[in-house]
Amino acid sequence: MTTTETLDVQPTPLALLLLGRESDPRSERGVDCPGDLPAPSDPNLVERARAAKARLGSKVFILGHHYQRDEVIEFADVTGDSFKLARDAAARPEAEFIVFCGVHFMAESADILTSERQQVILPDLAAGCSMADMASAEQVAECWDVLADAGVAEVTVPVSYMNSSADIKAFTGRHGGTICTSSNAERALEWAFAKGEKVLFLPDQHLGRNTAVGDLGMSLEDCVVYNPHKPGGGLTVEQLRAAKMILWRGHCSVHGRFSLESVQDVRDRIPGVNVLVHPECKHEVVSAADYVGSTEHIIQRLAEAPAGSAWALGTELNLVRRLAKAHPDKQIVFLDKTVCFCSTMNRIDLPHLVWTLESLADGKLVNRIQVDAETEHFAKLALEQMLALP
């Protein structure tokens, strides 16, 4: 479970919280920014961010996920996907404050991987992840009981995507599993299948299926989907015993939007286009695409692509726009016709960053993300297992 320094509120059953008013520390939802946020229209915001960062000097280290807004990325000391940022956070023991411009589960992972002395800060506590919220600790514990009753828990290794709460990472560590990201999911699954007969993959069914089928050569029939909202996950004992991959029924609300029609449509509009998508997309979309790869992979492939080539990207829009700007010699378009930012990533904006940096420079610790000691211990086992993957 995560606690926050500035808040003392009880978990709430509300599905939606009033922004700026409440927080639910047991989930990815919630926000509270005590004090005054500068107005987004303040013409001095950039200057104020620069000045506050300069006042903090080497005490602060700002991490920026690739899906962040341009105005935030401008102030990041490093940018990366969730795997790179987890490593970068762990490699900066001298920084007192790690300001994580990303989402809640990433800040939790940074807190787990950094030292006691370091404080991890999320500029807006409403920057959660809907996918991470699709697997709660209670639901996952119940699922493990279902696997035990079917007699398969002992031969099942949990592999959890980075995009999960610290509680789920701790569950994974307790049961001898590993964390993975979209950059190393194939290696994580190979490791897990060398250790056990089955994998419980949490919480993104699409990354699990795409990696098992696309990279490990399994069939779709080897995979079953565990639905936490149905008794027994909606699966029979026979189905659980026959499956190799038990996929949690979770998905990304951004990447899950891309459809087979969007792929067909872009091929009609741009003859010869290369379709490159993130493995959080549905299996049918990944199968219809020309290439699939993590955020870092997408960036790398675009950098190496020949001038004049055309690309349709199935990933978050802030990144797609930045790539299009960085490579004016290539035609780079968004795979879907409708706008698709990650709304929670986008919650981190310049006013929140300025408020965070100025508060820290004034000696006020705000929006600290702190994972409790027991959760941290077990979650760290699973995260370190990921960092040690061959």
Q: Which residues here bind ligand 13P, judged by CB under 6 A? A: 81-83, 163, 181-182, 252, 280, 294-295
- Candidates 45, 180, 342, 348; binder of ligand SF4 (CB under 6 A) is 342
Which alpha helices (H) appear in the chain, and where do they start and end? 45-56, 70-73, 82-90, 104-113, 137-149, 166-174, 185-195, 205-209, 237-242, 260-269, 283-288, 295-304, 317-326, 350-361, 373-387
Residue 27 or 239 with smaller CB distance to ligand 13P: 27
Q: How far is the CB of 24 from ligand SF4 (least distance, A)?
A: 16
| Positions in 155-174 near ligand SF4 (CB under 6 A) | 163
Binding partner of 358, given ligand 13P, ligand SF4, none, CB within 5-8 angstroms per partner class: none
Binding partner of 73, given ligand SF4, ligand 13P, none, CB within 5-8 angstroms per partner class: none
Q: How far, in whole angstroms, is CA 320 from its chain's centroid?
A: 17
Binding partner of 130, given ligand 13P, ligand SF4, none, CB within 5-8 angstroms per partner class: ligand SF4
Residues near 282 by beta carbon (within 8 Å), at least 6 away in sequence: 206, 256, 258, 259
Q: How far, in whole angstroms, is CA 103 from its chain's centroid?
A: 7
Q: How far is the CB of 179 from ligand 13P (least distance, A)?
A: 11
The secondary structure of the chain in percent helix, strand, coil, rounded to multiples of 5, reads 45, 15, 40
103 binds ligand SF4 (CB under 6 A): yes
Binding mask 206-245 for ligand SF4 (x = CB under 6 A): ----------------------------------------
319 binds ligand SF4 (CB under 6 A): no
Phi then psi dihedrals of residue 26, to 5 deg: -90, 0
CB count in 10 Å sphere of residue 216: 16
Q: How far is the CB of 67 from ligand SF4 (least distance, A)?
A: 6
- Candidates 252, 289, 319, 332; binder of ligand SF4 (CB under 6 A) is 252
Binding partner of 27, given ligand 13P, ligand SF4, none, CB within 5-8 angstroms per partner class: none
- Candidates 12, 27, 253, 346; binder of ligand SF4 (CB under 6 A) is 253
Q: How far, in whole angstroms, is CA 135 from its chain's centroid?
A: 13
Residue 130 or 367 with smaller CB distance to ligand SF4: 130
Q: How far is the CB of 22 from ligand 13P (least distance, A)?
A: 23
Q: Contact 99/107 with Cβ under 8 angstroms?
A: no
Q: Contact 184/211 with Cβ under 8 angstroms?
A: no
CA distance linking residue 239 with residue 220, whole number of Å? 13
Candidate segments 72-80, 229-237, 290-298, 337-345, binder of ligand SF4 by CB under 6 A = 337-345
Rounded to 5 degrees, what angle do the CA atoms 216, 217, 219 make? 120
345 binds ligand SF4 (CB under 6 A): yes
Give the residue from 249, 277, 319 showing the smallest Cα distance to 102: 319
344 binds ligand SF4 (CB under 6 A): yes
The pair of structure tokens assigned to 66 is: 């690739």
Binding partner of 344, given ligand 13P, ligand SF4, none, CB within 5-8 angstroms per partner class: ligand SF4
The pair of structure tokens assigned to 187 is: 């290696």
Binding partner of 170, given ligand SF4, ligand 13P, none, CB within 5-8 angstroms per partner class: none
The pair of structure tokens assigned to 225 is: 């989907």
Contacts made by residues 338-341, CB under 8 angstroms, sequence distance 24+: 340/254, 340/257, 340/316, 341/254, 341/316, 341/317
Residue 17 or 342 with smaller CB distance to ligand SF4: 342
- Candidates 68, 130, 165, 178; binder of ligand SF4 (CB under 6 A) is 130
Residues at the contact surface with ligand SF4, assessed by CB under 6 A: 67, 103, 129-131, 163, 252-254, 316, 342, 344-345
